[in-house]
């Protein structure tokens, strides 16, 4: 069992055992994290206490996820057992739904989680807030789906303001997020579109030099993104949008060897529904919506084309980033290049074709570079995708979906079939 907890002050002498099991989150960012905010989120503003609790839960989940490697017995996707001791303002409220939180985290990451909650002795932080009057918070990752969601949201709001909220993982993505936000403002005629970026990451080492293990899959990172967005939304008591095409959100496995959480399930309708329900039970502000949940990615692209015209839509969508890999930077290629062969890239390419838009995306070219060719062969899901499309949608596939009660199975089946039809354009 891998056991972790969180503390808010750094001891003068940090022992090796404490460095292995405790993550230190201090108001001055002297500890285990790179963060512009303290554990009470005072730099965000007057965040509801239970929402700050949710962020601390998400931070500890993310840090533990990063710090325990999956590789074991020849497999790089081993299930891990993780135990967390989480500081919250009302332990009884969280403890009452402990088993449900553990199950939800298991659904998200595929691991076995054990949670315990204890009273938080939080440091004092001044609250400052810069976004008064926001009618909605929209998560903006820099990917095509979040960009489409933010564009359609601002068009719907008209003169009313929204806040675009970005979590910076790869620092190279930060300028792209700003460029996308600027283009949304131009396309919608929105003046002073608010955009808040935050870089929050676990450091590679503890203050005493202890080096963390580094697990790169981090299936739970988007939970932190959601929790931070909800914290910001709690200030004005507004809804949080996390835009993602419904086909990808269902996380349908491409083959029998891909059962379980191979990619993120953070926008899966069951996960969003349960997260909102459980967070609300603890007293957090948690109205979450995926406005694109009933649409394929091609249908989303078509909506943008119909709204701003084909040329503008092509330019706007091509500037976004959808690739799931960054390893090609070790071969000397820009990290924001698209590999072209991961599921995100293949779905992107199919969506441009399905919406009859020109794709200006820069995909990696293996010409005259055998190292890159070998790298892309290893990363490609094209064969799995062809097999999935060749055999068609089966009842066994639908059984794996774990839909919430309010989501009709017939709607999911129709959505998947439309998404598969778009992917088939890649072979034409």
pLDDT 10s digit of each residue in the chain, 428 long?
899 999 999 998 999 999 999 999 998 878 999 999 999 999 999 999 999 999 999 999 999 999 999 875 444 567 899 999 999 999 999 999 999 999 999 999 989 999 999 999 999 888 889 899 999 999 999 999 999 999 999 999 999 999 999 998 767 889 999 999 999 999 999 987 999 999 999 999 999 999 999 988 778 989 999 999 999 999 999 999 999 999 999 988 776 544 443 456 889 999 999 999 999 999 999 999 999 999 999 999 999 999 999 999 999 999 999 898 888 888 888 888 999 999 999 999 999 999 999 999 999 987 789 999 999 999 899 999 999 999 999 998 898 899 999 999 999 999 999 999 999 999 87
- In a domain, residue 302? The reply is no
pLDDT, residue 368, reads: 80
Burial class (CB in 10 A: 0-12, 13-18, 19+), 108: buried
Residue 313 lies in a domain: no
272 Cβ contact list (under 8 Å, min separation 6): 242, 266, 288, 290
Q: What are phi and psi for residue 113, nearest 5 degrees?
A: -110, 140
Residues 206, 23: Cα–Cα separation, whole Å? 8
Query: pTM of the entire structure?
Result: 0.94
Residue 94 lies in a domain: yes
Report which DSSP code applies to 170.
Answer: S
Residues spanned by the domain of 72: 2-119
Query: Is residue 141 domain-resident?
Result: yes
Asked if 82 and 55 sit in the same domain, the reply is yes
Do 219 and 250 fall within a single domain? yes
Q: Would residue 269 count as lying in a domain?
A: yes
4: helix, strand or coil: strand
Q: How many residues does the chain have?
A: 428
Same domain, 251 and 367: no
Q: Do 97 and 36 lie in a common domain?
A: yes
Provide the 3-class DSSP secondary structure of residue 77.
coil
CATH code assigned at 257: 3.40.50.620
94 plus 178 within the same structural domain: no
Tally the domains of the chain.
Answer: 3
Among 88, 119, 150, give the residue marking a domain's end: 119
């Amino acid at each position: 069992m891998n056991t972790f907890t969180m503390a808010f002050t750094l001891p003068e002498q940090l022992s090796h055992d404490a460095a292995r099991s405790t993550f230190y989150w201090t108001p001055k960012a002297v500890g285990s994290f790179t963060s512009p905010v303290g554990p009470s989120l005072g730099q965000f503003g007057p965040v509801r206490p239970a929402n700050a609790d949710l962020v601390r839960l998400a931070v500890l989940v993310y840090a533990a996820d990063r710090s325990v490697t999956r590789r074991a017995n020849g497999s790089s996707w081993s299930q891990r057992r993780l135990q967390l001791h989480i500081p919250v303002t009302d332990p009884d409220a969280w403890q009452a739904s402990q088993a449900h939180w553990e199950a939800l985290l298991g659904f998200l990451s595929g691991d076995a989680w054990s949670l315990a909650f204890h009273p938080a002795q939080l440091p004092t932080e001044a609250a400052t807030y810069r976004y008064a009057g926001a009618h909605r918070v929209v998560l903006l990752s820099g990917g095509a789906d979040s960009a489409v969601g933010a564009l359609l949201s601002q068009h719907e709001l008209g003169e009313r303001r929204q806040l675009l909220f970005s979590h910076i993982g790869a620092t190279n993505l930060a300028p792209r997020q700003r460029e996308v936000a600027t283009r949304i403002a131009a396309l919608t005629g929105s003046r002073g579109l608010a955009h808040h970026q935050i870089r929050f990451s676990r450091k590679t080492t503890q203050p005493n030099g202890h080096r963390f293990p580094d697990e790169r899959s981090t299936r739970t990172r988007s939970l932190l993104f959601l929790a931070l967005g909800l914290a910001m939304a709690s200030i004005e008591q507004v809804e949080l949008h996390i835009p993602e095409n419904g086909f990808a959100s269902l996380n349908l496995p491409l083959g029998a060897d891909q059962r379980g959480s191979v990619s993120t399930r953070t926008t899966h309708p069951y996960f969003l529904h349960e997260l909102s329900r459980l967070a609300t039970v603890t007293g957090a502000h948690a109205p979450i919506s995926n406005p694109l949940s009933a649409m394929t990615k091609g249908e989303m692209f078509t909506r943008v084309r119909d709204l701003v015209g084909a040329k503008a839509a092509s330019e706007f969508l091509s500037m976004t980033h959808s690739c799931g890999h960054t390893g090609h930077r070790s071969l000397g290629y820009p990290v924001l290049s698209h590999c072209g062969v991961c599921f995100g890239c293949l779905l992107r390419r199919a969506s441009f074709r399905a919406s009859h838009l020109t794709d200006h995306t820069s995909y990696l070219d293996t010409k005259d570079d055998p190292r890159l060719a070998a790298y892309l062969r290893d990363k490609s899901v094209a064969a799995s995708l062809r097999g999935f499309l060749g055999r068609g949608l089966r009842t066994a596939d639908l059984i794996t979906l774990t839909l919430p009660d309010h989501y009709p199975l017939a709607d999911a089946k129709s959505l998947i079939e439309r998404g598969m039809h778009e992917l088939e354009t890649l072979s034409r």
